[in-house]
Structure 1
């Protein structure tokens, strides 16, 4: 299995910690985390990552500006939501959505489905 560097954006600290632990148990690395749109957008612009996992709603704000940065960099992403696919950012309605709370198996399946084959961490 190839290890991926993951940008994890989630505003609930306990959920973010749980997701980070699950990501690492799956053999990947969380290289940066954020819980606000401004912090997340900054990290999305400067960090080296293979995949972004984005909570749709960050403290009442839509994650669209962050998703646009990730897309503009040509990197894969998927969304987390407690509300299914409702509220996805405009232009991202076809992107995968992982419903919270999720299991390690559903997280693994979604990561594997979104990451390009043979993905190699930029940090390896």
Structure 2
């Protein structure tokens, strides 16, 4: 039997921003985050949308596609760093392109699975575990 997994206590309060230009990938990531029990997931498919969301809202975590329709998302990463919001880059390029201050930012290597999203959420929450509801 398949169980819906969720983060331990407090996950329902996590507000997550997903910046991804591929609609199907964005929906998949959103579904994964919801399956992990995150409270609110906001999706932006363009840089201007993402900037607006970052200016008008507060997030606990963000997943940034490294290359958004041919534009690097480093300006968004800078804004997240300024706000102290943890984030990861999602990329098919690998982490070798990350330099300077970005070299230590975790990456989700595309294509990734639910377990990968759970791992980065655990890291963001300081190692808090995941719970699997009983049968």
TM over 0.5: yes
What is the CA–CA distance in structure 2 between the aligned matches of 1:16 and 1:89, rounded to whole Å?
Answer: 25
Alpha-carbon spacing, 1:89–1:63, altered in 2? closer, same or farther (3 Å): farther
What is the CA–CA distance in structure 2 between the aligned matches of 1:104 and 1:41, rounded to whole Å?
Answer: 27
CA offsets 1:58-96 (integer angstroms, 9 cap, x no match) = 000000111111111111111100111133365211100
The CA RMSD over aligned residues, in Å, is 1.7
1:9 offset after TM fit, Å? 0.6
- Kindly report which structure 2 residues correspond to 1:4-23, keeping only aligned pairs within 5 A, or say none: 4-23=14-33
TM-score of the two chains, using structure 2 as the length reference = 0.80
Aligned residue number for residue 112 of structure 1: 122
Q: Does the aligned pair in 2 maintain the 1:79–1:98 contact within 8 Å? A: yes
What is the CA–CA distance in structure 2 between the aligned matches of 1:17 and 1:58, rounded to whole Å?
Answer: 16
What is the CA–CA distance in structure 2 between the aligned matches of 1:8 and 1:34, rounded to whole Å?
Answer: 6
Find 1:40's aligned residue among 37, 40, 50: 50
- Report the secondary structure of 1:101's partner residue: coil
Q: Flag the structure with higher helix content.
A: 2
Alignment partner of 1:53 is 2:63:
yes
Report how many residues are paired. Answer: 118
Alignment partner of 1:64 is 2:74:
yes
Q: Does the aligned pair in 2 maintain the 1:76–1:115 contact within 8 Å? A: no
Structure 1, unmatched stretches of 5+, are 119-124
1:49 offset after TM fit, Å? 1.3
TM-score of the two chains, using structure 1 as the length reference = 0.86
Structure 2, unmatched stretches of 5+, are 1-7, 129-135
